[in-house]
Amino acid sequence: MILEVKDLVVDYGVINAIKGVSFKINEGEIVSLIGANGAGKTTILKSISGLLKPSSGSIIYMGKNIEHHKTPNIVAAGISHVPEGRHIFPGLSVKENLQMGAFLQKDRQKIMESLSEVYERFPILKKRENQDAATLSGGEQQMLAIGRALMSKPKLLLLDEPSMGLAPIFINKIFEIIETIKKQGTTILLIEQNANKALTISDRGYVLATGEVKMSGTGQELLADPAVQKTYLGG
């Protein structure tokens, strides 16, 4: 098991956003968190990556509690987070954005090797490496955000709404990329409004509502579940 979240509680002031959520991710899996806006999915990812501090509960990564660790330490341990909205750095080139993903790496040779690997995975980024990142299309910016996260060679990749706002052709491409990343050995925790596509590529999934886990199962079990179909798949 690479990650276990146990009885996680997260409060925003007086608002109880996450109410005792528990789930597990095995090494090499794609696991999806499914739920409506406001269900608490993004809050969970931010808690895992150290951007939010839980009120209580445990986040256990590779056997060690990390719920009180700072974000740079969590990145150094092997967790990368691709946030909702991509958050690329305008005014910096594509190459400079990618190099920001390796900010903890001091070995220039290893940074160059990581850069080459990202360019091999995303040839369009190599082609655009000297462009201002803000001039890329939405799909290209999402590839850049994923590429930047991969620069730190993560064992666990957190993806928050990777297909949001993209044209259908890019949505299919992004899901192909996610599957390829998994095949190459990276474990993935995925948040995605397109529940159908997310569950189709997921080994397992958890359904969240109002800060709690309401259902769980394999991707195929959840796709076939009438309640999930009705609420999240338009069935």
Q: pLDDT at position 220, please?
A: 96
**Could you give phi then psi for residue 46, rounded to 5 degrees?**
-65, -35
Q: pLDDT at position 113, please?
A: 87
| CATH number of domain containing 156 | 3.40.50.300
Q: pLDDT at position 102, please?
A: 84
Burial letters 154-167, b for 16+ CB under 10 A, else e: bbbbbbbbbbbebe
Tens digits of residue pLDDT in 176-211: 999 999 999 999 999 998 999 999 999 999 999 989
> Does position 235 have pLDDT exceeding 60, yes or no?
no
Segment 29-43 mean pLDDT: 92
Distance from C-alpha of 198 to C-alpha of 192, rounded to nearest angstrom: 6
* Contact in structure between 205 and 31 (CB atoms under 8 Å): yes
**Is residue 14 situated within a structural domain?**
no
Q: Which amino acid is at 67?
A: E
- Provide the strand spans (E) within the chain: 3-12, 15-25, 30-34, 56-61, 64-65, 79-82, 156-160, 187-191, 204-209, 212-218
**Is residue 213 situated within a structural domain?**
yes
Please tell me the total count of domains within the chain: 1
**Is residue 8 situated within a structural domain?**
no
- Percentage of residues in the chain having pLDDT higher than 90: 71
Sign of the alpha-carbon dihedral angle for 217, 222, 224, 230: positive
**Is residue 60 situated within a structural domain?**
no
Model confidence at 232, pLDDT cuts 50, 70, 90, reads: confident
User: Count H helices, E strands: the chain?
Assistant: 10, 10
Q: pLDDT at position 169, please?
A: 84
- Percentage of residues in the chain having pLDDT higher than 70: 99
Least confident of 146-150, 160-164, 165-169, 200-204: 165-169
**Is residue 150 situated within a structural domain?**
yes
* Contact in structure between 206 and 32 (CB atoms under 8 Å): yes
Distance from C-alpha of 6 to C-alpha of 56, rounded to nearest angstrom: 9
CA neighbor of 182 nearest in space, from 160, 154, 224 = 154
**Is residue 84 situated within a structural domain?**
yes
**Is residue 54 situated within a structural domain?**
no
Range of the domain at 75: 25-48+66-232
